[in-house]
Amino acid sequence: MIEEVNGYYDHVHCLVKLKPAQSVSKIVNLLKGESSRWINERFDEQLSHWFEWQRGYFAASVGEAELERIRKYIRGQEAHHSKQSLDEEMKEMGIDTGLF
């Protein structure tokens, strides 16, 4: 179940509650596939090329105590990235953006 979603021009954040039988990779595949199809069907004449997602993704698990902080972070993407780019943020967290 998607609990929160928002993004910036070059990425999207989703807070997703998984059931025990669901895997992160399966959910990401579904989200990317369905959203790509939706975008390409509705905006095909406005797009200069076929929309597709990057091949990788980043996922992290969060505890119940962190949920409200994560929701606020997701909601505040425009303000957050006006101060720090996604690449800068990922590097600060020690994540190699070349993997994506």
Note the pLDDT tens digit of each residue in 35-75.
999 999 988 877 778 888 888 888 999 999 999 999 998 99
> What is the rounded distance in angstroms from the CA atom of residue 36 to the CA atom of residue 51?
6
What string of DSSP letters covers 21-59?
Answer: T--HHHHHHHHHHHHHHHHHHHHTTT-SS-----S----
Note the pLDDT tens digit of each residue in 2-22.
999 998 877 899 999 999 999
CA atoms within 13 A on the CB side of 16: 18
Q: What is the pLDDT of residue 3?
A: 93
Say what the pTM is: 0.75
> What is the rounded distance in angstroms from the CA atom of residue 72 to the CA atom of residue 47?
31
What proportion of the chain, given as a percentage, has pLDDT over 90? 49
